[in-house]
């Protein structure tokens, strides 16, 4: 076999892929995520300028302070609401329903929360008169971002609860009443996950610019986007963005490393959630009251905007605004499905390789894009795709698709790796490789993970505003972008209907994702039911 | 047919396989015995391409399938493996397990087709001494070359062969006919083990690897598997390697007995350092 044939045929047993497939997936991943940055820095039109000031001035530092305030406030609010909801409902009959609701809420984008609050204030204003203020400023930005990301904290809390085995939980209850056990055993065990969830929300909200823009709160991210869209030198914009980028990367890196360690260290088996430890009726009244108060932050923070959206959308759905939004929805769905499909093809082999272990030096470039703010990805793709030799492709949506692919790839890769590390290889995969190759049989065995990745990619793409705003070609729009533009003119009933339409699409995909994720323990249970030679004879 | 050359595998600085060399000719059957954790299963996984050696080569039918860090994918090696944990496919019935592989090997249930024998069985590189790459043979996945499609380097006629079993007869031989439409989750441990052996046999491999095929079986199941191995295990076009704790299997099958001692393969009663 010649060198090329030999290289193409070479097999990587750790990744369970041909080496060439792993290399190709890596190349696509880096091309989509790192390529545009290289094009930018390489000095193409609008590229890096050493003359750009590197130190932010006082005004920018003040904006960075606003960003930090918003992120810290959102993280605190999110942790309170998320953990309160999980702890209060984990041991009750509502647990399953709450988990589905949390998953759906997790993917409802923050700008729909904003729209819901705006609709609610409009409805109240129309019914109560002009005394109802229009929501804006730091407090509302924090409330919306904190509420929008609280489900993430709630799901981290679920993971922490699942990490406590049933026997351990029962042993704790035998040693002390739940109230005291919480203080002595559970609080020390949960401090870590609590900090993780705070860090994750801090990381994800620090560079958000959509919600602050809607609530007219100047933060560093809004300043950067405004400068970029307003035609400022990209080099200057990128140069002053470094504090935000650095802080985001640090917070994200810390959060991800901690979460990954916790995820892989979580023991299997039945959790302590069903024990008396999680029965609210046995807790001290102060505990129950405090948790109820914390949970109400999430319940009210998510429920009221939903109510606002529902009330605002009341009436016939036949108006011209809704009809005109179908092309935008079609663009969103097309881009979402294409990007999610491509992402699945890329991250499955790459995820298998990463899950099997990779030197840190090789894994780092793959993990880094996850940490950087989306607006940087948007900037780099916007500049790359508007260069003369790519503008034709950009006009046909290639830039939008590539930017969406770049936006979702790191998250899909993270899911691919975590799923494989958490659940291991699907049963029968080794046999599929030996007997039937890497084709349909293996894909069928791995179907839940692949569908999960596809749905996650679709969800993230459907709700994306960050990169769409910067990379959408002239004359096209996605549904979130149409909503965002219309919201500048207020939250009329047509806008509320569009918001509800998007929320329904996202909610449906999120519910499906929840169902697929639920297959994980079911598959484990199937495996447990499979009689093993050690336990069953003949 | 199967040649291992200085195969070495370490785990966490512990040498599990220490320069293992072995030559198993076509039609040969060997039973490997050794204490738990000595590397028997690892050796089978290395041969199947599911694990990478630190050093050494593996040749199947004279074709290079593992050469240091370079590996040919498992499904292109013409190897079948009955896994220690069975590794059945949860979404397929027992009949579908066998039909999938019978179809891939060019047969359908109820029919028979020959398995291939390579002239290179006489040693590495065959008569010419050249070692071709397995990938060049152009086999379809999981299907060793048939005598009709294989072109022999020296144009010698194919040695005699015995037809491989079809899925239907294997189901009958292993007492699985009544279970054919059931899914793996509904089988007992012994039934699942028999399905695993049947799947390996129906694939018509050039190298048949069986990992503890008799472990934890009751007397009836054990007899069924032993009879199936007697009937189908030895094949003129195939090398069969069996890992087993059960004593007496080598006598029953007329097989060579190899023992793992300190990471090396030792053949009791054989002169020299190892079973070359």
Domain range for B91: 47-240
Give, as one character, the DSSP assignment of residue A280.
G
- Of A11, A447, A535, which to mutate for an interface test with B (greatest number of B Cβ within 10 Å)? A11
Closest approach of chain B CAs to the CA of A419, in angstroms? 19
The distance from CA B21 to its chain's CA centroid, rounded to whole angstroms, is: 17
**Distance between CA atoms of A393 and A206, rounded to whole angstroms?**
32
Q: Is B130:B107 a contact under the CB 8 Å cutoff?
A: no
Closest approach of chain A CAs to the CA of B96, in angstroms? 12
Closest approach of chain B CAs to the CA of A433, in angstroms? 6
Contact residues for A390 (Cβ-Cβ < 8 A; gap 6+): A384, A398, A399
Choice between B135 and A248, residue whose per-residue pLDDT is larger: A248
Pairwise CB contact (< 8 Å): A533 & B187: no
- Considering only CB atoms, which chain A residues are within 8 Å of B221? 538
- Considering only CB atoms, which chain B residues are within 8 Å of A428? 87-90
Asked whether residue A201 carries a pLDDT value surpassing 90, the answer given is: yes
What sign for the dihedral angle of Cα A430, A436, A438, A440?
A: negative
Asked whether residue A46 carries a pLDDT value surpassing 70, the answer given is: no
Is B22 among the domain residues? no
- Find the helix or strand (DSSP H, E) in which A325 lies: helix A320-355
Q: Is B174:B217 a contact under the CB 8 Å cutoff?
A: no
- Considering only CB atoms, which chain A residues are within 8 Å of B217? 533, 537-538
Asked whether residue B24 carries a pLDDT value surpassing 60, the answer given is: yes
Is A374 among the domain residues? yes
Is A315 among the domain residues? no
Choice between A143 and B35, residue whose per-residue pLDDT is larger: A143
Closest CA to A79 of A140, A146, A158, A148: A146
- Considering only CB atoms, which chain B residues are within 8 Å of A439? 141
Q: Which residue of A has its CA nearest to B70?
A: A10
Instruction: List C-alpha distances in Å: A402 to A274, A382, B133.
Output: 46, 10, 40
Asked whether residue B220 carries a pLDDT value surpassing 90, the answer given is: no
Counted residue by residue, chain B has a size of 276
Q: Which CATH number characterizes residue A180's domain?
A: 1.10.3720.10
Confidence of residue B269 (pLDDT cuts 50, 70, 90): low
The per-residue pLDDT for B159 is 34
For range B60-78, the mean pLDDT:
85
Q: What is the pLDDT of residues A133-173, one digit of tens each?
A: 777 789 999 999 999 999 999 988 887 877 766 666 667 66
Pairwise CB contact (< 8 Å): A11 & B215: no
Pairwise CB contact (< 8 Å): B75 & A434: yes
Asked whether residue B67 carries a pLDDT value surpassing 80, the answer given is: yes
Asked whether residue B133 carries a pLDDT value surpassing 60, the answer given is: no
| Residue of B74, B185, B212 lying closest to A433 (CB–CB) | B74
The per-residue pLDDT for A401 is 94
Asked whether residue A51 carries a pLDDT value surpassing 80, the answer given is: no
| Residue of B71, B91, B220 lying closest to A10 (CB–CB) | B71
The per-residue pLDDT for B139 is 38
The per-residue pLDDT for A344 is 95
Closest approach of chain A CAs to the CA of B201, in angstroms? 11
**Distance between CA atoms of B203 and B194, rounded to whole angstroms?**
14
For range A419-428, the mean pLDDT:
81
For range A236-245, the mean pLDDT:
80
Counted residue by residue, chain A has a size of 538
Count the helix, strand and coil residues of chain A and give each as a percent rounded to the nearest 5: 75, 0, 20
Structural domains counted in chain A: 1
Pairwise CB contact (< 8 Å): B48 & A434: yes
- Bridge partners of B209? B81, B241
- Considering only CB atoms, which chain A residues are within 8 Å of B185? 526, 529-530
The per-residue pLDDT for A206 is 92
Pairwise CB contact (< 8 Å): B189 & A18: no
The per-residue pLDDT for A66 is 93
**Distance between CA atoms of A397 and A385, rounded to whole angstroms?**
10
Pairwise CB contact (< 8 Å): A427 & B90: yes
Give the rounded percent of residues in chain A with a pLDDT score beyond 90.
19
Asked whether residue A439 carries a pLDDT value surpassing 80, the answer given is: no
Q: What is the pLDDT of residues A274-306, one digit of tens each?
A: 666 777 777 778 888 888 999 999 999 989 988
Q: Is A304:A117 a contact under the CB 8 Å cutoff?
A: yes
Asked whether residue A453 carries a pLDDT value surpassing 60, the answer given is: yes
- Of A22, A430, A435, which to mutate for an interface test with B (greatest number of B Cβ within 10 Å)? A435
First vs last C-alpha separation in chain B: 13
Closest approach of chain A CAs to the CA of B82, in angstroms? 8
Question: Chains A, B: CB contacts under 8 A, how many?
Answer: 137
Q: Is A248:A201 a contact under the CB 8 Å cutoff?
A: no
Domain range for A121: 18-41+54-310+327-527
Lowest mean pLDDT among A202-216, A285-299, B135-149, B218-232: B135-149
Pairwise CB contact (< 8 Å): A6 & B142: no
Closest CA to A44 of A376, A373, A386: A386
- Considering only CB atoms, which chain B residues are within 8 Å of A11? 49, 71-74
């901690």: which residue's tokens? A258
Pairwise CB contact (< 8 Å): B71 & A13: yes
Is B142 among the domain residues? yes
The per-residue pLDDT for A241 is 81
Closest approach of chain A CAs to the CA of B98, in angstroms? 11
Pairwise CB contact (< 8 Å): B141 & A537: no
Is B42 among the domain residues? no
Give the rounded percent of residues in chain A with a pLDDT score beyond 70.
80
pTM metric for this prediction: 0.79
Closest CA to A460 of A437, A480, A443, A444: A480
Pairwise CB contact (< 8 Å): B88 & A436: no
Instruction: List C-alpha distances in Å: A294 to A70, A159, A189, A288, A351.
Output: 19, 19, 20, 10, 37
Instruction: List C-alpha distances in Å: B141 to A434, B74, B90, B105, B236.
Output: 9, 9, 21, 9, 22
Closest approach of chain B CAs to the CA of A256, in angstroms? 27
Pairwise CB contact (< 8 Å): A531 & B221: no
Q: Which CATH number characterizes residue B230's domain?
A: 3.40.50.300
Pairwise CB contact (< 8 Å): A436 & B75: yes
């590189």: which residue's tokens? B125
Mean pLDDT across chain A, nearest whole number?
81
Most confident region among A163-167, A311-315, B157-161 by mean pLDDT? A311-315
Quickly count helices (H) and strands (E) in chain A: 26, 2
The per-residue pLDDT for B95 is 87
**Distance between CA atoms of B120 and B101, rounded to whole angstroms?**
25
For range B147-176, the mean pLDDT:
54
Mean pLDDT across chain B, nearest whole number?
74
Structural domains counted in chain B: 1
Lowest mean pLDDT among A176-190, A198-212, A373-387, B124-138: B124-138
List alpha helices for A207-319, DSSP H: 210-214, 220-229, 234-240, 242-265, 285-312
Q: Is A512:A459 a contact under the CB 8 Å cutoff?
A: no
- Considering only CB atoms, which chain A residues are within 8 Å of B68? none
Pairwise CB contact (< 8 Å): A538 & B101: no
Closest approach of chain A CAs to the CA of B160, in angstroms? 25
Closest approach of chain A CAs to the CA of B227, in angstroms? 16
């Amino acid at each position: 076999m010649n060198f090329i044939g030999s290289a193409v045929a070479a097999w990587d047993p750790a990744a369970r892929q041909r080496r060439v497939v792993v290399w190709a997936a890596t190349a696509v991943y880096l091309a989509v995520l790192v390529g545009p940055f290289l094009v930018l820095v390489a000095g193409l039109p609008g590229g890096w300028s050493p003359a750009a000031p590197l130190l932010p001035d006082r005004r920018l530092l003040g904006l960075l302070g606003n960003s930090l305030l918003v992120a810290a406030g959102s993280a605190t609010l999110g942790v309170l609401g998320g953990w309160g909801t999980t702890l209060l409902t984990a041991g009750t009959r509502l647990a399953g329903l709450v988990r589905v609701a949390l998953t759906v809420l997790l993917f409802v984008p923050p700008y729909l929360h904003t729209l819901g609050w705006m609709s609610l204030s409009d409805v109240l204003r129309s019914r109560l008169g002009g005394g109802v203020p229009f929501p804006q400023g730091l407090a509302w930005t924090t409330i919306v971002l904190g509420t929008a990301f609280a489900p993430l904290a709630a799901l981290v809390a679920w993971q922490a609860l699942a990490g406590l085995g049933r026997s351990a939980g029962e042993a704790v209850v035998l040693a002390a009443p739940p109230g005291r056990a919480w203080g002595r055993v559970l609080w020390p065990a949960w401090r870590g996950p609590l900090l993780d969830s705070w860090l994750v929300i801090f990381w994800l909200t620090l560079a958000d610019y959509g919600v602050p823009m809607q609530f007219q709160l100047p933060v560093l991210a809004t300043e950067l986007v405004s400068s970029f869209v307003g035609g400022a030198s990209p080099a200057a914009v990128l140069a002053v963005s470094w504090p935000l980028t650095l802080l985001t990367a640090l917070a994200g890196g810390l959060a991800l490393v901690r979460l990954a360690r916790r995820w892989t260290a979580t023991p299997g088996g039945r959790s302590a959630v069903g024990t008396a430890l999680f029965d609210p009726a046995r807790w001290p009244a102060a505990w129950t009251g405090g948790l109820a108060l914390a949970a109400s932050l999430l319940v009210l923070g998510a429920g009221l905007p939903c109510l606002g959206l529902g009330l605002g959308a009341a009436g016939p759905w036949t108006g011209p605004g809704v009809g005109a939004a179908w092309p935008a929805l079609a663009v969103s769905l097309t881009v979402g499905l294409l990007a999610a499909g491509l992402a699945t093809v890329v991250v499955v082999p790459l995820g298998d390789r990463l899950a099997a272990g990779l030197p840190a030096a090789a894994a780092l470039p793959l993990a880094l894009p996850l940490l950087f703010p989306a607006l940087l990805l948007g900037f780099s793709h916007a500049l790359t795709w508007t260069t003369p030799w790519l503008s034709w492709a950009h006009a046909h949506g290639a830039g939008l698709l590539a930017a969406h692919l770049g936006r979702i790839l790191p998250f899909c890769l993270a899911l691919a790796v975590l799923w494989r590390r958490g659940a291991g290889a699907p049963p029968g995969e080794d046999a599929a490789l030996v007997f039937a190759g890497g084709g349909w049989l293996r894909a069928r065995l791995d179907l839940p993970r692949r569908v999960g990745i596809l749905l996650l990619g679709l969800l993230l793409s459907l709700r994306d505003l960050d990169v769409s705003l910067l990379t959408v070609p002239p004359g096209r729009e996605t549904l979130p972008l149409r909503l965002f533009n219309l919201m500048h003119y207020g939250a009329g009933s047509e806008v509320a209907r569009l918001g509800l339409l998007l929320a329904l699409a996202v909610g449906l995909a999120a519910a499906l994702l929840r169902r697929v994720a639920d297959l994980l323990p079911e598959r484990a249970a199937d495996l447990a039911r499979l009689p093993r030679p050690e336990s069953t004879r003949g | 047919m199967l040649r291992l050359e200085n195969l070495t595998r370490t785990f966490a600085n512990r040498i599990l396989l220490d320069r293992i060399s072995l030559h198993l000719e076509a039609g040969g059957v060997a039973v490997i015995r050794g204490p738990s954790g000595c590397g028997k299963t690892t050796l089978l996984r290395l041969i199947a391409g599911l694990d990478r050696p630190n050093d050494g080569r593996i040749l199947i039918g004279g074709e290079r399938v593992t050469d240091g860090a370079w590996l040919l994918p498992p499904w292109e090696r013409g190897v079948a493996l009955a896994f220690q944990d069975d590794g059945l496919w949860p979404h397929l019935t027992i009949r579908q397990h066998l039909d999938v592989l019978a179809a891939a090997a060019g047969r359908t249930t109820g029919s028979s087709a020959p398995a291939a024998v390579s002239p290179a069985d006489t040693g590495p590189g065959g008569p010419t001494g050249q070692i071709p790459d397995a990938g060049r043979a152009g086999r379809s996945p999981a299907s060793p070359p048939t005598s009709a499609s294989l072109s022999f380097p020296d144009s010698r006629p194919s040695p005699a062969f015995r037809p491989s079993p079809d899925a239907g007869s294997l189901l009958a031989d292993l007492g699985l006919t009544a279970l054919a439409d059931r899914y793996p989750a509904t089988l007992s441990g012994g039934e699942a083990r028999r399905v695993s052996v049947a799947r390996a046999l129906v694939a018509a491999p050039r190298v048949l690897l069986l990992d503890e095929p008799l472990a934890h079986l009751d007397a009836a199941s054990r007899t069924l598997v032993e009879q199936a191995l007697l009937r189908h295990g030895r094949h003129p076009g195939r090398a069969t390697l069996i890992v087993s704790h059960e004593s007496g299997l080598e006598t029953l099958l007329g097989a060579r007995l190899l023992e793992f001692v300190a990471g090396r393969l030792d053949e009791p009663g054989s002169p020299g350092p190892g079973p070359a």
